[in-house]
Amino acid sequence: MVKRVNEPTYQINPGVHRRFDQRNTVFMRRFWDREAGFHGVEYRDLAAGRISANEAGYSRVEFARLLASWTVHDCFRGAFSWERLGQADPSMMQFGRHEADPGVMTEEVKRTARQFGASLVGICRVNERFVYSHDRSGDPVEIPAGCTYAIVMAIAMDKDGVATSPQYPSATATGIGYSKMAFAIACMAEFLRNLRYKALPMGNDTALSIPLAIDAGLGQLGRNGLLITPEYGACVRLCKVFTDLPLVADRPIDFGLTDFCRTCDKCSQACKAGAISTDPEPSFDVACRSNNLGIKRWAVNADRCYEFWAENTAACSNCISACPFSKIT
């Protein structure tokens, strides 16, 4: 049973926890961390060899489809711009800033998010501890003054595709999810700008999506290190837009996931990399350098996960498809 609660369901030790540096994500460490076994490895590098083995789910056609699925996300860089895309429509000149009741605008924002492709949408106040300390280039991340609300959207992925994990069709479902994210945040940002408010669209950049999604009432953190939603399980991709438009924040939810994960280890059993903890209880322990300190959870060994991706030559979604809440297998 899903219930609204006053406090988020995660636990943080503020004496240890610090804003996370995006350069410490596993995807960035491959460029600079010479101690990592995956240093210098792009996980699709060995795709030709995998394809030549003629395994089911790893064909040249499937690989071409996989790469194509990322087109909007990878090529439409304007989706992540903090500035208006192009010139404002001349008709906007007749309008000033739209002033309305925050409750009314919250409903309008949610309606707009769903129209732009969001399967779920929630609102939370921006918690600075979840903003990256530095971006992937090493520059400090600073959020403009006034952008105190986050519109967090979840994009449901194709379950039939994810069910094939770790084969290429599953990675295609992931790429499509990211491309849909780019569309949704770009359109949401322009909607807010048309009302004369600031909008900072984000995918995996700028801030951590999962804790913001928890704050916005979309789900809880699972054993697999992912957001688990009551509606779609882990079979979602997350994006968000920060804004200075006054809104009404949602309350977090609790549907008993932590207790469920204590006795369910289907994701850890399905993980071919052995990256997901089998410990009976969550803890403040970390599994690798890509885990932030001071968070109580089942820490996922991202190093092992990425190394399996490189062996597989594609992203893996075994832990997503295995989660009972995803309702896939």
Across residues 2-7, what is the average pLDDT? 95
Instruction: Specify the pLDDT at position 131.
Output: 98
Rounded CA-CA distance 59/65 in Å is 10
How distant, in Å, are the alpha carbons of 58, 117, 225, 301, 302 from that of 37? 25, 38, 21, 13, 12
Nearest to 316, CA basis, from 159, 178, 163: 163
Q: Please indicate, yes or no, if residue 119 is contained in any of the structural domains.
A: yes
Answer for the pair 102, 246: CB distance below 8 angstroms, yes or no.
Answer: yes
As to burial, measured by CB atoms within 10 angstroms (0-12 exposed, 13-18 middle, 19+ buried), residue 304 is buried
pLDDT, mean of residues 15-44: 96
CA atoms of 208 and 82, how far apart (whole Å):
17
In a domain, 94, yes or no: no
93 domain residue, yes or no: no
- Cβ atoms of 240 and 123 within 8 Å: the answer is no
Spatial separation of the C-alpha atoms in residues 126 and 212, rounded to whole Å: 8
| pLDDT tens digits, 64-123 | 999 999 999 999 999 999 999 988 888 888 899 999 999 999 999 999 999 999 999 999
Per-residue H/E/C for 234-284: CCEEEEEEEECCCCCCCCCEECCHHHHHHHCCHHHHHCCCCCCCCCCCCEC
pLDDT recorded at residue 159: 97
**Is 75 exposed, middle or buried, given 0-12, 13-18 or 19+ CB atoms closer than 10 A?**
exposed
Integer Cα distance of 61 and 142 in angstroms = 42
Tally DSSP H helices, then E strands, for the chain.
12, 10
Residue 91 lies in a domain: no
pTM: 0.96
Q: Which range marks the domain in which residue 124 is found?
A: 3-83+100-326
Cα–Cα distance, 212 to 130 (Å, whole number): 7
Would you state the pLDDT for residue 92? 84
Contact 154, 226 (CB under 8 A): no
In a domain, 89, yes or no: no
The rounded distance, in Å, linking the Cα atoms of 115 and 251 is: 23
Confidence of residue 287 (pLDDT cuts 50, 70, 90): very high
pLDDT digits (tens, 9 = 90+) for 264-277: 999 999 999 999 99
The tokens describing 227, both together, are: 């957001």
What's the pLDDT tens digit per position in 232-262? 999 999 999 999 999 999 999 999 999 999 9
Would residue 90 count as lying in a domain? Answer: no
Q: In what order do the strands lie in the sheet with 236-243?
A: 120-125, 149-156, 236-243, 199-202
What whole-number distance in Å separates Cα of residue 310 and Cα of residue 304?
10
The whole-angstrom separation of Cα 31 and Cα 39 is 6
Parallel/antiparallel/unpaired status of strands 253-254 and 236-243? unpaired
In a domain, 118, yes or no: yes
Residue 199 parent element (H or E): strand 199-202
As for how many domains the chain has, the answer is 1
81 alpha carbon, distance to own chain's centre: 18
3-class DSSP state for residue 206?
coil
Burial class (CB in 10 A: 0-12, 13-18, 19+), 61: exposed
Rounded to a whole number of angstroms, the CA Rg of the chain reads 20
Residue 165 CB coordination number (10 Å): 27
Report if residue 76 sits inside a domain: yes
pLDDT digits (tens, 9 = 90+) for 191-223: 999 999 999 999 999 999 999 999 999 999 999
